[in-house]
């Protein structure tokens, strides 16, 4: 006896599958025989994937600059796990942890190497804020919650410190078991060649398709050699769209050269959710569907790849034994106008519309899901 069987769900490769859930885990996938307390036949009309993971968000409600509510950017938009990327450092991360225990969305954190987190925009302008003992103690207190480190390495954040905060971040990473390090890139200094040169396996470059002069492409539109070498060493590319860090031109040129993102993330917080250009993870994913990525590629970027990049055990794949985290969605063919972070627009024709998030077997409908005729419970 299962708790839930979802029948005839359409997977990202177009095939149909049943998914059975027992307690809070996926119990069977494929053609499932047996009964359940609750059955749900999607008749191939609704798409389903492992639960979407947004690798870069901001949802510490008390952050003075980038705040939001986890469930608004989570289950309300089909996202089952969000990873806050450095809103908090060692000084606030316990408060953040406590504040998000009641959320329906799974909330995890990348710890800002500055103990102040993003309390100001220039958290790495003062090297004394990088406190190795405080980082280590926070990791020891919250080993399940903190999944890695975050370092924002652009001129407005590091000011005159240049590459030094990143050198410290690499040392902290090594002192703490080599956990994932997400590095935000933006305006120089430091130059991206200098940043990329320090990165290796386990490191993640976020804002990878930003349109600033210090971007991954050379003026001739080729991938910088330093980034190419970093990718060969196992460095991963994360989108981190945000308010100022995503350019259609850069993304299109990169994708045309086969430089795909490992993870698609939103860098969402209340302002760019409400006023654009981010809106939601689904909206960011839809942009990639319209600039040359396939549906399976886009879905992998928010499921298996996201789980791999942040080493989230038991998530990101539709397999027995995994957490029963699922996203149900619609793929609509309708004209849609998209805008990047530089104000450039793109006329698209395909749009992902999240209908429901299942977290540990518990179902949460989105607003569109509540009004959808395809759900007959």
Per CB under 5 A, residues contacting Zn ion are 85, 267
The number of C-alpha atoms within 13 Å of 65 and in the hemisphere containing its C-beta is 14
Whether the Cβ atoms of residue 127 and residue 168 lie closer than 8 Å to each other = yes
Q: How far is the CB of 86 from Zn ion (least distance, A)?
A: 7
Q: How far is the CB of 340 from Zn ion (least distance, A)?
A: 16
Q: Which is nearer to Zn ion, 238 or 267 (CB)?
A: 267
Q: How far is the CB of 153 from Zn ion (least distance, A)?
A: 12
Site of tokens 């885990």: 25
Q: Which is nearer to Zn ion, 85 or 124 (CB)?
A: 85
Q: Which is nearer to Zn ion, 65 or 346 (CB)?
A: 65
Q: Which is nearer to Zn ion, 65 or 103 (CB)?
A: 65
- Alpha-carbon distance values, 107 to 29, 59, 142 (Å): 26, 9, 13
Q: Which is nearer to Zn ion, 203 or 267 (CB)?
A: 267
Q: Which is nearer to Zn ion, 85 or 149 (CB)?
A: 85
Q: Which is nearer to Zn ion, 21 or 310 (CB)?
A: 310
Q: How far is the CB of 58 from Zn ion (least distance, A)?
A: 6
Q: How far is the CB of 251 from Zn ion (least distance, A)?
A: 17
Whether the Cβ atoms of residue 160 and residue 192 lie closer than 8 Å to each other = no
Whether the Cβ atoms of residue 40 and residue 377 lie closer than 8 Å to each other = yes
User: Which residue is nearest to Zn ion, using beta carbons?
Assistant: 267
In 3D space, the residue among 299, 354, 337, 316 whose CA is nearest the CA of residue 72 turns out to be: 354
Dist. CA 324–CA 316, nearest whole Å? 10
Q: How far is the CB of 41 from Zn ion (least distance, A)?
A: 40
Q: How far is the CB of 368 from Zn ion (least distance, A)?
A: 26
DSSP 3-state percent helix, strand, coil across the chain (nearest 5): 25, 30, 45
Q: How far is the CB of 301 from Zn ion (least distance, A)?
A: 17
Whether the Cβ atoms of residue 208 and residue 201 lie closer than 8 Å to each other = no
Site of tokens 């928010």: 302
Q: Which is nearer to Zn ion, 80 or 87 (CB)?
A: 87
Whether the Cβ atoms of residue 235 and residue 204 lie closer than 8 Å to each other = yes
CB within 8 Å of 323: residues ≥ 6 apart: 24, 25, 26, 51, 314, 315, 360
Angle subtended at Cα 183 by Cα 84 and Cα 234, rounded to the nearest 5 degrees? 110
Site of tokens 């003026």: 219
């Amino acid at each position: 006896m299962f708790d839930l069987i979802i029948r005839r769900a359409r997977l990202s490769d177009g095939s149909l599958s049943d998914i059975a859930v027992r307690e809070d885990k996926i119990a069977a996938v494929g053609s499932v025989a047996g009964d359940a307390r609750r059955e749900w036949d999607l008749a191939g009309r609704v798409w389903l994937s492992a639960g979407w993971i947004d690798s870069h968000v901001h949802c510490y409600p008390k952050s003075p600059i980038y705040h939001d509510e986890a469930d608004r950017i989570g289950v309300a938009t089909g996202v089952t796990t969000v990873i806050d990327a450095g809103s908090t450092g060692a000084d606030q991360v316990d408060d953040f942890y406590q504040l998000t225990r009641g959320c329906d969305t799974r909330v995890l954190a990348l710890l800002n190497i500055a103990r102040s987190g993003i309390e100001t925009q220039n958290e790495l302008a003062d090297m004394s804020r990088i406190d190795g003992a405080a980082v280590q103690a926070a990791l020891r207190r919250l080993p399940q919650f903190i999944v890695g480190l975050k370092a924002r390495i652009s001129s407005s954040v590091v000011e005159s410190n240049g590459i030094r905060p990143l050198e410290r971040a690499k040392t902290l990473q090594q002192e703490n078991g080599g956990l994932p390090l997400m590095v935000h890139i933006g305006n120089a200094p430091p130059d991206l060649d200098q940043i990329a040169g320090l990165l290796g396996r386990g490191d993640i470059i976020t804002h990878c398709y930003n349109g600033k002069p210090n971007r991954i492409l050379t003026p001739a539109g080729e991938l910088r050699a330093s980034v190419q070498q970093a990718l060969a060493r196992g460095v991963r590319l994360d989108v981190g769209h945000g308010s100022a860090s995503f350019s259609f031109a850069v993304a299109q040129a990169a994708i045309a050269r086969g430089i795909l993102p490992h993870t698609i993330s939103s860098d969402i917080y209340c302002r760019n959710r409400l006023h654009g250009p981010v809106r939601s993870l689904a909206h960011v994913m839809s942009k990639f569907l319209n600039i040359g990525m396939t549906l399976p590629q886009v879905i992998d970027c928010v499921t298996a790849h996201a789980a791999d990049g942040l080493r989230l055990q038991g998530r990101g794949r539709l397999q027995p034994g995994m957490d029963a985290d699922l996203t149900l969605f619609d793929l609509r063919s309708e004209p849609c106008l998209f805008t990047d972070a530089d104000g450039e627009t793109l006329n698209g024709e395909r749009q992902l519309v999240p209908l429901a998030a299942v977290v540990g077997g518990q179902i949460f409908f989105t607003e569109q899901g509540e009004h959808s005729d395809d759900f007959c419970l």
